[in-house]
Structure 1
Amino acid sequence: MAGEQPRADARRNVQKLVDAAREAVAEVGVGVTAHEIARRAGVGIGTFYRRLPSREALLTVVLADTFDELVAVARAALEMSDPWDGFTVFAESFARLRATSCGLRDVLADSPLDVDIDTRIAELRALTEQVVGRAQRAGSLRTDVAWQDIAFLLAATMTGADSMGLRLPPDQWRLSLRVILDGLRAPTA
């Protein structure tokens, strides 16, 4: 019956799978299997494949969900009374989400995406520019740094799994972000 909404239990199972996939990608990485995601969601592998055509389809939903969360955080940051606080909330969310979903975009690069990621990215770029511009106009964020630079600086909080033979601690992004934010703060702020 075309056009019918999935049953409530079917929607719940899909949400469980999305939540489990986000958690698994954060802990295990993008190589997590459909079996592991189903196990974490508390559903069978048959339920997984009845609700989703593939692991890549689920990871696409997770990627879209991640961008949607970032867009929502950027909008909320623009509503905060203090532009620096708004910027730092956005920056922390960006760094955290990048750290917990790093590699999703790369693993899906060769897969046809059923969701419009490009529109989400364009919206996120526009909002990032607004969040940065607002903090700069308030005098709290250095004005010699372009909003595009901010995207790269925030992405730099999450590097490869090791450096100079040292293993990357899971929360290294937090320290990196603190140092980056200290460097971005306007000297007079």
Structure 2
Amino acid sequence: MSRTATAVERLLQDGSGRRPRADARRNVERLVIAAREAASDGGEITAHEIARRAGVGVGTFYRRVGSLEVLLQAVLSELLDEIVAAADLGLADPDPWAALCRFAGSYIRLRNELCDVNEALGGIIDHERTVLRDRIRLLVERAQAAGAMRTDVTWQDVAFLMVSTSTGDRTLGLRAGDLQWERNLQIVLDGLRTDDPNPLPGGPPQLPPSQI
């Protein structure tokens, strides 16, 4: 499988074929890292905030990446590629259950960044969702076929369950632990392996008719 371009590589492509100057590349690398950090910790995703985190001036920001939208689109593509790559790595793993567990952790971590960047762009993800759905379905089906996971849970349920583990910082006056979402995920994964589960109420999540 061919390697996809990173966000930095996408941003440095100008069609000339010339190799970018070292200082230009360093500034772009800093801006990409800063944008991803802002998304991962829930910070403000603006040109000024990203430039501040990157340690560069706003003028350098616009000179190197053109606009906030261009930067975020490159970061969004990189995040989507990383999620798909994590799924493909899992599909190549001979242990289907270990593969699903490892992917779930990677997916939640990357999805938090993905959602914040996508929201800042106004929600542009569309066909990429189909790719991600297919990967999750295949990972779940492999784990079920191997007898490692309860079969009354659908891949659609798993998509919701993974997202549900990523919680807020506080509830009922309690403060989340430093590894709270990892703890939540482990509880969910253990529940998916239950040998004698209770019947599930209702039906699994469904796609809107327009997307079927």
TM-score by length of 2: 0.74
Task: Give the aligned length.
Answer: 181
Cα shift at 1:150 = 0.7
Gaps of 5+ in 2: 1-13, 197-212
Alignment pair present for 1:123 and 2:155: no
- 163-172 or 41-50: bigger deviation: 163-172
Quickly say closer, same or farther: Cα 1:77–1:97, change in 2 above 3 A: same
- 167-176 or 5-14: bigger deviation: 5-14
Q: Which residue of 1 aligns with 2:28?
A: 14
Q: Which residue of 1 aligns with 2:70?
A: 57
**Equivalent residue for 2:119, pick from 76, 81, 106:** 106
Alignment pair present for 1:180 and 2:180: no
The higher-RCO structure (CA 8 Å, 6+ apart) is 1
Amino acid at match of 1:4: S
Question: 1:77–1:87: 8 Å Cα contact kept in structure 2?
Answer: yes
Paired with 2:186 and 2:54, the residues of 1 have a C-alpha distance of 34
Quickly say closer, same or farther: Cα 1:74–1:43, change in 2 above 3 A: same
Q: Which residue of 1 aligns with 2:7?
A: none
Amino acid at match of 2:16: E
Gaps of 5+ in 1: none
Paired with 1:125 and 1:169, the residues of 2 have a C-alpha distance of 30
Paired with 2:63 and 2:153, the residues of 1 have a C-alpha distance of 48
Pairing 1:84-95 to 2, within 5 Å after superposition: 84-95=97-108
Cα shift at 1:101 = 4.6
Amino acid at match of 1:124: L
Paired with 1:58 and 1:39, the residues of 2 have a C-alpha distance of 15
Question: 2:38–2:44: 8 Å Cα contact kept in structure 1?
Answer: no
Q: Which residue of 2 aligns with 1:3?
A: 15
Paired-residue identity, %? 49
Cα shift at 1:184 = 0.9
Cα shift at 1:125 = 1.1
- 137-146 or 6-15: bigger deviation: 6-15
Cα shift at 1:123 = 1.1
Paired with 1:39 and 1:132, the residues of 2 have a C-alpha distance of 42
Alignment pair present for 1:31 and 2:39: no
TM-score by length of 1: 0.82
Amino acid at match of 1:17: L
Q: Which residue of 1 aligns with 2:167?
A: 159
- 80-89 or 100-109: bigger deviation: 100-109
Quickly say closer, same or farther: Cα 1:134–1:186, change in 2 above 3 A: farther
Quickly say closer, same or farther: Cα 1:30–1:118, change in 2 above 3 A: farther
**Equivalent residue for 2:150, pick from 142, 145, 153:** 142
- 70-79 or 88-97: bigger deviation: 88-97
Question: 1:30–1:107: 8 Å Cα contact kept in structure 2?
Answer: no
